[in-house]
Each structure stands twice: as C-alpha cells, then as structure tokens.
Chains A and B, each alone.
Chain A
Amino acid sequence: MRANRTILTAVALGGLLLTGACGGSSDDTSDGAPGGRGFTPPKLSAPKSLGWTEGEVNLIAWAGYAEDGSNDPKVDWVTPFEKQTGCQVSTKVAGTSDEMVNLMKTGQYDAVSASGDASLRLIASGDAAPVNTGLVPNYRDVFPGLKMQPWNSVKKVAYGIPHGRGANLLMYRTDKVSPAPDSWKAVFDDASRHKGRVTAYDSPIYLADAALYLMKTRPDLGIKDPYALDQKQFDASVALLKKQNGNVGEYWSDYLKEISAFKSGDSVIGTSWQVIVNTAQAEKAPVKAVLPKEGATGWSDTWMVSAKAKHPNCAYKWLDWIVSPKVNAQVAEYFGEAPANAKACAETAAKNHCTVFHADDAAYWKQVHFWTTPIPQCLDGRTDVKCVPYAKWVQAWTEIKG
C-alpha cells in the first residue's frame, strides 16, 4: 500500500495543473461528432494489420501505469509483457497532460496514456493516430460505456483504447458531518456549517464541480455541460467558488495531504477520490464518500498511439496487454480506479474492487462528467455564444484563491 501511495502522490502532484486527467462530456454519448468540437483532425489512418514486433517500445505514462517491479517487486506487469512479446519497454513517466503533449510532439514515443484533455489536443495536433480496435483483441471486453467516447474518438474514428476511469466523490467525516450529505450543497451553499474545514481539489478544473452544482440548482443559467460555460455561466461558477473560499480550510492536490487533513479533522468535508477514501478508511479515519445526487466530475484515461511511432507493432501489443483482464485488474487496483475491461473484475485481488470502484455501474458513470479541456467553441454544441477557454479558467482559479 505504501508504494501504491507514493505513486499516487506523484500522480496527484502531477495532476495539480490538471491538464491531466481525462475528458469529455460524457452522458452525452450521442454527440460523438467531434467536428462539432471545433476542430477537424489531420487525415491519418490506422494500420490494417500488424507485422513483426520491433523488439522495443517507448511509452509515456502516468506514474503507476507501467510498473516493472522497480517500485515494488510484486507490482510488475511489464516484465511478463517483455517476455511474451519480445518488446523491451522504456517508460517515460509524465506528471501532467501538458508534459505528455509536449513529449508526444518530440516523435520519440510510440504510445501514451492520455487523459481526456490531452487526448483531444493530441488528436487535433495530429500527434496521435487513429487506432484499429480490431487489432486489439481485448478491446472486445471493454465496457461499452467507454467505447467511442468524445475523448477517445473523433467522427466515429477510434483514437485509443480505454484504460480506466474514476470519479471525484464527496468525502466527509462521519463523526463531524451529520446528517450524511447527499448533495454538493454541503460544500457550496451549506459550506458555512463547516467553516474553515471544507476542502476542495486544487486545480482550475474544479470550476467544473461548481458548474455541475449550478447545472442542477440554477436551471435559469442553462448549463448543459460543466466544461462548456459561457461568460455568464462561468461568472456564476466563479462567484460560487469565491463564496466557498471563505469556508475552505485548505485546497488539496497531494492526496497524502488530504488524508492527513481528514484524519486530524482539519478537513471534514470535500471532494475526493475513491482510492483516497479507501486509504483513509484503512488508516482508521472515520470517513465515508458518496456520489452526490447532482452527479460528479471524473477522469477517464486512454492509451493512444503516436502518429510518428517507430514501433507501432509493439505499441499495439502493449495496448492489448494493458487492457487484458489480468493486467487491467492489476493496474486498476494499484492505481485505485475502475478497470476498462469488464473481465478484469474477475481478476482483481480484492474481490469487491469493481463494486467499490463502480466498474460495471452504468448508472453511476452516467452521473460522472469526465474532465476535458474547455475551449472557446462550446462543447455542448451551442454556436450562438463563445465559451470560456481553459486559460481563463486558470486565471479565474488564481483569483478565486486570492
């Protein structure tokens, strides 16, 4: 668990800027036409068949996604891959989505575990190539809810293989917060009840959490997608967070920091991840988490292949390997997220892992709005207004914290 934590800390720190995790609006799978997302990807095609493996493959991955036993001898799914395929794996761990995008631009890497915002940017810039899912046998068993989503496909063309997903939950101290909350209201309109002990995720993307809350509580604003906010909707979200700031004790981006704050009682309620809840409970902190009735934001990661890949065959082997039931189960448990492969649920060491992380809970994921990069062209399809781009979110986040 310790090693696990270190990795997660690294991820959490990396996620600070949160160009990181994934994206897409989500419950709106019908809107698969990314042309409406404001860009047309360069014309690239996926391979029709695979050839001989090249003997090596270069990956860009989140910490914990390509473990070769060097962090924990028991955590190793890279060595068996090398033995089986003859592809030597070199992994470059990236801390943020921006880093991933920049690394991919060098053309020295074959595949990347991109989060939603990064994946779209890679598709738009032509750095990521379409993926022939037919060459990835295990793709068959991926949960349907993850296939052909706005963050991994454009115009009905798949650009990657889903890796796993998680949701941002509302965590609270059972001894300090009663009755048990069932709404994000507890950290917004009712935050003053826990003045100085509310916590929130320290990233501009957290604005989407406020927008999600307003989507349900202020129908007059007409928010359809928490990542597609026009100026008025954006201002309302910022105002809500500024108000929340008065009650916030601290923001977290390092997940160890959140655990310590909940254990000591410095924080009693706030946004969190499933793996944090589990760890905190294991450390005897009296905490619980809920997916509030308004739904939640979350992330979904995708393995993508570089358009300039020098080792595409090994890259495809890796894509198939990482979503194979056993390996997908291992990585999902190690990182603390829901696996992408339905069959992985039978392979997890903790038998209830998929239940805990809601891997097969379509209703649960319906309520999760995966992170994506806000752009001027409104992601909800509106064309009559300009939406506020991510750069402005970053600036606003600074101002919210003051």
Chain B
Amino acid sequence: MTKAAGMLHRSPRLRLALLLAAPLTWLVVAYLGSLAVLFLSGLWTTDPFTSDIVRSWTLDNFRALVTTEVYRRVALRSIGVALAVTALCVVIAFPIAFYTARVARPRWRPLLVVALLTPLWASYLVKAYAWRVMLARGGLLDWLLTPFGLDGPGYGLTATILVLTYLWLPYMILPIHAGLERVPDSLLDASADLGARTARTLRTVLLPLVLPSVAAGSVFTFSLSLGDYIAVQIVGGKTQLIGNLVYSNITLDLPLAAALGTVPVVVIVLYLLAVRRTGALSSL
C-alpha cells in the first residue's frame, strides 16, 4: 500500500493516467466513438424495401447532400435561422443582462438571475405549445398587434425564430451577465473620466470586454438552434430545418440521416473555430 502510494507520488504521469482513465474512456468511446459511427454509417446504404442497412461503402449519401438542391437549401435555411436566433438573443439579452449585472441593486441581482432562469424549469414542449397558442390566428400576438394595424406572424419561419429565441435566451443572458459582472466599475469610470460619453464607453470599453461572453452565449444559442427540430414542428408551419430532415430519415434511411447529421456537426465545429478567435472559449 505504502509502496503504491510512493510510486504514485513519484510518478505524476501515472497519477494523471489513473485520474483521467475513466473520463477519457467515456470521451473516446461514447462521445467521439458515436460521432465516428455517425460519420461511418453515413457511408452505408439501405435496402429500399425492408429499410435494412446494407453495409457496403459508398459516398452516395454525402454526394446527395452536396448535389441535392433541397438539402443545400434546408442547410442554409437552418444556418440562417441559427444566426438570426443568435443575433436576436444578443440584442435582447444585452440590455437585460446589463440591468441585472450593473444597474439593479447588488442584493437583488441573484434573485433576478434566478427569475430569468425560471423559464428553464418549464418543459420545452409546454413552452413550445404555449407559443403555438399565442401565435395562433386570433391568438394573443394577433390581439396585441391588431391595435397597431399589424398581424401576428402566424406559423412559419418567423415564428420559429421567435420561439427559438425565447427558448434559448437564458443561455445568452447568463454568460453576458457573468461577463458584465466581471468588468470592474473603475474601467467604466476611467472611460468617462477620460471624456467618453456613455454611448462611447459602452461601445469602446464595455462591449469589447463582454464580447467573449457574447460569443460564449452564441455557442449555446447557435448550436441549440441548429439542432432543433421540435419547435419548428410545432410553430414552423411547413418550414423544414436540418433537424427535421434527420428526424424524418432516422428510421427509414439511417445512413442518409447520419450523413445529414454530419452537417450541423461540421457547421458547429466551424463556428467554434471562428468563436475561438474571439477568445470566448476561455471564458466558457
């Protein structure tokens, strides 16, 4: 026993290996393994009648991804939705987080944050269906907008973006709140002191300093939006996103579903690489 302990003490590598063995196994086998299987099964094909997987290697599915116009269109639409949701989340989350992190009295701040997170306690489906009711013809949104001579968006792309924005907003508010809280008051004082008006201080000092937090939040909103297929089924009208395509192919044509599934993976990896340049990943 003592001997073993001594050996562990003398050999930091052994210690590290023991410490990381379990999580690494998990990471490699369960996580990377499943991604590898996903990609590999995209190289298979199916029997058209029995839907059995035929394990012969072919690039047909990936070729179809690139050459079939509808897949390209849906992929681009999905990315567009994810970007729009992310942009909306930033625009809405920033003032809210600014209030909770810098304006509200310090002792109210934790309570406000908890309040902002309460929507997360409700089931995703309940929230999505609630929005379905609100967006219905003659629903709450119509009723609110009619006095201004406007109509609600109805079900469709706009509704999807709206609901996804609502669903993922807390994931944007939280990191921005944390980022804003970390900015020392003295930096804002210093900027004003050196002659910068409030708007300029926001733009040149506060914004650059919370940009990594915004980017961190955007990783959540972007990837969650890109992977969603339920909200769009509930409020998207006839809109198809990449998640719907994966879902509708999963039992009929698993290899094609797998090939489609690699699209968001690739897009998100590219997004993460882009975000990494802002230094946001270090503040995650």
| A contacts B: CB pair < 8 Å | yes
**Which residues of A are at the interface with B, using a C-beta cutoff of 8 A?**
16-17, 19, 96, 98-99, 101, 121, 124-125, 196, 245, 248-251, 253-254, 257, 260-261, 264-266, 373, 375-376, 389-392, 394-395, 397-399, 401-402
Please determine whether B136 and A98 come into contact, CB atoms closer than 8 angstroms.
no
Given contacts A98-B51, A264-B138, A394-B252, whether A249 and B237 have CB atoms under 8 Å apart is yes
A19→B252 CA distance, assembly (Å): 8
Shortest distance from the beta carbon of B142 to any chain A beta carbon, whole Å: 10
**Does A264 lie within 8 Å of B70, measured CB to CB?**
no
Question: Given the interface contacts A250-B238, A264-B139, A399-B70, does A391 sit within 8 Å of B132 by beta carbon?
Answer: no
Q: Which residues of A contact B248 (CB under 8 A)?
A: 16-17, 394, 397-398
Q: Determine the chain B residues whose CB is within 8 A of the CB of A373 once the complex forms.
A: 49
Is B136 within 8 A of A389, CB to CB?
Answer: no
Chain B, residues 234-269, CB within 8 Å of chain A (1/0): the string is: 101110100001011111110000000000000000
Measured CB to CB, the closest approach of chain A to B90, in angstroms, equals 29
Q: Bound state CA distance, A277 and B71, in angstroms?
A: 35
A101 and B50 within 8 A (CB)? yes
Residues on the B chain within 8 Å of A397, using CB: 248
Per-position 1/0 for B23-64, Cβ under 8 A of A: 000000000000000000000001011110000000000000
CB-based nearest B residue for A125 = B50
| Residue from A17, A260, A389, A402 within 8 A of B48 (CB atoms) | A389
The 8 listed contacts between A and B (C-beta, < 8 Å) are A17-B250, A98-B51, A121-B51, A260-B132, A264-B138, A265-B136, A265-B138, A375-B49
Contact across chains for B154 and A249 when beta carbons are under 8 A apart = yes
Binding site for A on B (CB under 8 A): 46, 48-51, 68-71, 73-74, 129, 132-133, 136-139, 154-155, 233-234, 236-238, 240, 245, 247-253
Q: Find chain B residues with CB under 8 A from A389 CB.
A: 48-49
A96 to B249 Cα, complex, angstroms? 12
- By the criterion CB–CB under 8 Å, are B253 and A391 in contact? yes
Contact (A257, B73) CB under 8 Å given A266-B155, A376-B48, A398-B248: no
- CB pair B137 A264 closer than 8 Å: yes
User: For the complex, what is the distance from the CA of A17 to the CA of B132, rounded to whole Å?
Assistant: 23
**Pair B238/A248 contact, Cβ less than 8 Å:** yes
In contact, B50 and A251 (Cβ under 8 angstroms): no
Could you tell me the distance between the alpha carbons of A249 and B153 in the complex, rounded to whole angstroms? 12
Q: Report the minimal beta-carbon distance from B175 to chain A, rounded to whole angstroms.
A: 34
Contact between chains at B238 and A245 (CB < 8 Å): yes
Q: Is the CB of A254 within 8 A of B233?
A: yes
Q: Closest 5 CB pairs between A and B?
A: A264-B136, A98-B251, A250-B237, A391-B48, A389-B48
Complex interface: chain A residues within 8 A of B48 (CB):
375-376, 389-392
| A99 cross-chain contacts in B, Cβ below 8 A | 251
> Which residues from chain A contact B74 at a C-beta distance below 8 Å?
398, 402
* Apart from A254-B234, A264-B138: 11 A-B pairs, beta carbons within 8 A: A16-B248, A19-B251, A101-B50, A101-B51, A121-B49, A257-B132, A261-B155, A265-B136, A265-B138, A266-B155, A394-B248
**Contacts A99-B251, A391-B252 hold; do A398 and B46 have CB atoms under 8 A apart?**
no
Q: Please give, as numbers and ranges, the residues of chain B lying within 8 Å of A402 by CB-CB distance.
A: 70, 73-74, 238, 240
In the bound complex, do residue B236 and residue A398 qualify as a contact, i.e. CB atoms below 8 Å apart? no
Of the candidates B71, B129, B233, B252, the one having the most CB atoms from chain A within 10 angstroms of its own CB is B252
The answer on a CB contact under 8 Å between A124 and B50 is: yes
Would A96 and B50 count as touching, CB distance under 8 A?
A: no
- Which chain B residue lies CB-closest to A198? B238
Residue contact A250 to B252, C-beta cutoff 8 Å = no
Complex Cα gap A17–B69 (Å): 22
Neighbouring B residues of A101 by C-beta, 8 Å: 50-51
CB nearest to B250 among chain A residues: A17
B235, closest chain A residue (CB): A250
Neighbouring B residues of A248 by C-beta, 8 Å: 237-238
For the complex formed, measure the closest distance between the CB of A396 and the CB atoms of chain B, giving whole angstroms. 10
Question: Which residues of the partner chain A approach B238 to less than 8 Å between Cβ atoms?
Answer: 245, 248-251, 401-402
- Provide the bound-state CA to CA distance between A254 and B251, in Å: 18
Look across to chain B and name the residue whose beta carbon is closest to the beta carbon of A246: B238
Contact status A260-B50, CB under 8 Å: no
Kindly list chain A residues whose C-beta atoms are within 8 Å of the C-beta of B237: 248-250
| Bound complex: CA A327 to CA B116 (Å) | 51
Q: Which residues of B contact A254 (CB under 8 A)?
A: 233-234
